[in-house]
Structure 1
Amino acid sequence: MRLIALTTLTMIAFAANSLLNRAGLAGDHIGPAGFALIRVVAGAVTLWGLVALGSRGLPQRPRPDWVAVLALVAYLLGFSFAYLALDAGLGALILFAVVQVTMFAGAVIGGDMPPGRRWVGMAVSLCGLAYLVWPGADARMDPLAIALMIVAAIGWGVYSLVGRRAEAPLEATTWNFIYAAPLVLVAVLPFLRDERMGVVGVGLAIMSGALTSGLGYALWYRVLPQLAASTGALVQLSVPVIAIFAGVIFLGEDLSLRLVLASALVLGGIAVGLLPRR
């Protein structure tokens, strides 16, 4: 029950990241480069403080895990820039569909062969996602935004797979954020001059970095070792459904019949994949 509660809390934090990012960009409160930079710095500062308090001193600097760091950078940059043209829920659906494929592939390569019902659950969920993004009258698809979100998804999938072997989740997440911050700064520097940074946008970015990213990812690293890679991939498909309905409520995004049916398929697939064998 504790694992379920922690996993649910983590999924809500992931969905909140989509809402905060989209709210900042859609409202023209901040640009994607500024949001990504403030987000990673706020996350690094918050996590550093927690580690310092927990260890009662300055934590020792480990060697960077460059696979995790670069995967985190790819996720942060692709995520922020993709939300210039995608709604919160649609972006989350594309993100976690590709995350699921990435993590399932990683599970198979790593020898963690998922049972048949989990493959069925993944297939049902992906059918729901495909139905949602299939070109139609109510679909808003920007090719560049989709490509950026796919890059973000592969980054997050790899980051999650690496996180399964973390022995100290909070410390690992902290140093990943610290090492990622200067790389994000170098990447976004050419864009910052032309971007707006309002008080509301900065506040949203700080909230995303400190709470829903920093603390949320530390919690995810804590939960991941207790989940099979395929299970971790499957439960993340609940995030787009949360983001869709939260986007409708808080951001005024459209709710269509297609959205409702696709969400039902996604949740049904998760249920099938997580059911016990009996």
Structure 2
Amino acid sequence: MKKILSILLTTAVILTLSGCGAKKEVATTAKVTAEKKIIKVGASPVPHSEILGVVKPLLAKKGYALEIIEFNDYVTPNTALAEGQLDANFFQHIPYLQSFSKERNLDLDYTVKVQIEPMGLYSSKYKKLSEIKSGAEIAIPNDATNGARALRVLEKAGLLKLKSGELISKLDITENPKKLKITEIDAPQLPRVLNEVDAAVINSNFAIEAKLNLEDALAVEAKDSPYANVLAVRKEDKNKDYIQALSKALNSPEVKKFIEDKYKGAIIPAF
């Protein structure tokens, strides 16, 4: 009788402990599922945050809450993503993402292309390209990929000639007939120094923030530019449901119409 009672008590304890473990596991799973309904995305204020504003209600219909966290630099959004503080970011083009990830050994990738932002050569001193004088100072972004893009804009405008290749720098200038001085500056600062230099090659997002009109640019990057802005994610998350939902929303007809209507050619859909 004592043996039977002992066995029954032992069984009851095991079942109780198992039940607690199961409850804990279910609770943990439920918590993880709930967390994945909130998608944290880092973005530049213009146009990326504005585009995500269109995406927000589209995701809400799918049961996801989109949290947009704005950044004003080109470094923090990638490090924050790699460290798990963000689920994705939306501010950069493919060459920059690839270069940054390689330099810092980050396991980042992208899912979809969203828009192309043509660079423009802006000036508060000159109205025409032909007016640029010998020895003029032209500012360009100081990061490798955008700096290379800017130099190609100057080459396309006929102001200088460069070596072939992708990540070229001012050291790769082969012809500079006007002896232009190329100054490298942080991309977000370029609109602010426009009155201090003769001209500057500025990314569209910063140009738009500064109320610069692409139509007033002295030269514009070709519209077949390979520098499409993308949704960046950790490689391990590429195929997860919430990332797929976000990617689909960014390539929706609603987003395409918004880009075309809002930016009127200054920014072009890439899908």
Q: In terms of Rg, which structure is larger?
A: 2
Query: Higher strand proportion, which one?
Result: 2
Identify which of structures 1 and 2 has the higher relative contact order when contacts are C-alpha pairs closer than 8 Å and 6+ apart: 1
Same-fold call, TM cutoff 0.5: no
TM-score, normalised with respect to structure 1: 0.25
TM-score, scaled relative to structure 2: 0.25
Higher helix share: 1
